Each structure stands twice: as C-alpha cells, then as structure tokens.
Copies of this chain bind each other. A is one copy, B any other.
C-alpha cells in the first residue's frame, strides 16, 4: 500500500510500504477513506520535536473496516468507523473513567499499526478504539467531513472547555486560533457559554471563530491581548481554554484568568523547557486542568450532535488533498496557509 513516511525536517514522502495484517484477535484492519494533517504535525515537520526518520505519520483515521480478528464484537467488515489519536482498550479503570489516554493497554498509531496517512491501518483493541458511524449516515460525505474532527481537534477543543469548567452562562476566553482553538469556541458555545472571547492573530481564522460562536475577537499577542481581554471583561474570565501548548500561550491564558478561575489546557506543551511559572497560578488560586485529550470519551456525545445537524466543525478543513498530496498538506500547514488539511486517500 501507499503511505506517508517522515524522513526529516520538511521531508515527508508518500511511498510503498507493506500492508498491515491482523496481529491479535482484537485487531481490525481499516481502509482509510478520510484522514487529516494535525496541527501538532508541523512540530516534527519543522524539526521542533523529535521523530524517528522512516516513521509512519498521521493519527486521525476514518474509513471502512476490511477485516476483523476473532474477538472483535462491535464492528464488522464494511462498517464505517473512525478512531481517535490514541488507541485504548475500553475496559480498564481509566477507559471506564473516561480517561482513555491513560489506558493501561493503550497503544499508538505509527510503527506496524500504520499511521493514519496511508491506505490502511491496523487498529489494535478495535472494540475499545473504533467508533462506528450508524449505517444511515455512513456514506454521506458532508456528515463524514463533519465527523472527521472528532478524531482529534473537536474532542480536544471540547476537553479544553470541559477542563476549564465552561457551562451554561459562562464567560470564557479561548487562546489560539488554530483548529483546536476554533473547536474550543464551538465546544464552549455548545456547552452554553454566554460570552466567548477568541484570542488569535489571523483574521481569516478569527472569522471562523466568529462563525463558530465567538462573541468577541481579540487580534493581538502577549501583554496587549491580556490588557484588552481584561479591560473588556472587567478583570479577566473565570474559564480559559489554552489551545496552543506554547509557553507564551500559557502566559496569555493565566494573564486573562480571573482570580479563582480555571485554565483548561490541551495543547501538547512545546517550548516550555523553562517550565511553568507557578507564581502565575499561586497568588490568585488559578487552577490548571486538562492535559492530553481523551477524545474517545467524547466521541458518542459529539457524534450525536453532528448526526442531528447541530454541530459541524468541518470548516476547520480549509484545504483538501489526496494521499499523494500529503507532503503538500504538510507544507500548507507549516506555512499556515491552511487551518487544517483534510486528506482523502
């Protein structure tokens, strides 16, 4: 089969690799029909985070089940499914608690499982990991594109909102106008937030934020952004969604958080070698919640909204490529031409 492989900074190639095979009775093989380039992919693409040369990339697969192991009970060949960016068993203590990212039997995409950016993946723990799309929606292209962000960014934005304690009537701020930040806006609106301040610095992305429900847009960085948000909210907000993962974004997040408020953070931390300044949190009792998003936990409730037509995060996909176009997709993400790239192998 064909699949995208990482060879070094700014060097992702699509090449022929062995087809994946069932290795355990709980595995499934999925033919990938939709996948994406993630906002975290540019970090290794730029050489900012380590990644082994020759490793398979992608972690947001959606497709059709081709083959299942003998012990798989929840999906059959021919089913339309999608999977989150982590593999989880579904039955351990942490999966039952909704913390699938800490699954004690967990696994990840890449290696022999294949990455999402390829023709096929092997999905370990298929019963725990795969989310089945009901048959009546299984071939509707618009629906599938609206479901695709549930593999990662929509679940992650939702986790930021949940972690920040957003609820009906809340005033909140969202730091970051990437796909996760935009989905954070959508999630906050879905949870009933009354006022949503989106902080970013790309006007085209803030337009999407507004479409997604942001009530106030702040196009600024650092101290200027903090000052403007604190002025418009008379001293900061109680709920902040930190959707970037960079040290500067965390500083903005704590800077706009009202004393006693909560920062929900979900961006993979990067550029934080200096560590978090705990004094940013200590004096005003600001809580720090969140972490890597257990998007599997949120898949069913978010899918229900997509299927009834009340949730559509697909506008985050501003560019679409086929499998051979994956390197071009990385380039477009790296150069911030695209918010998020949809891949249709």
The residues of A with any CB-CB pair to B shorter than 8 Å are 94, 97, 99, 101-102, 163, 250, 259-260, 265, 268-269, 272, 274-279, 281-292, 294
Contacts and interface: CB of A to CB of B under 8 A. Distances in A.
22 contacts: A94-B260, A97-B260, A99-B259, A99-B260, A99-B285, A101-B284, A101-B285, A102-B260, A163-B287, A265-B282, A269-B278, A269-B279, A272-B275, A272-B278, A275-B277, A275-B278, A281-B291, A283-B291, A285-B291, A285-B292, A286-B291, A288-B288
A169 B262 CA distance: 26
Nearest to A288: B288
Nearest to A260: B99
Contacts of A283: 101-102, 291-292
Nearest to A293: B285
Contacts of A272: 275, 278
A247 to B, nearest CB: 9
A287 B287 contact: yes
Contacts of A102: 259-260, 283-285
A328 B10 CA distance: 66
Return the 8 tightest CB-CB contacts between A and B, nearest first.
A275-B275, A285-B291, A102-B259, A288-B288, A276-B276, A287-B289, A99-B260, A269-B278
Contacts of A260: 94, 97, 99, 102
Nearest to A289: B287
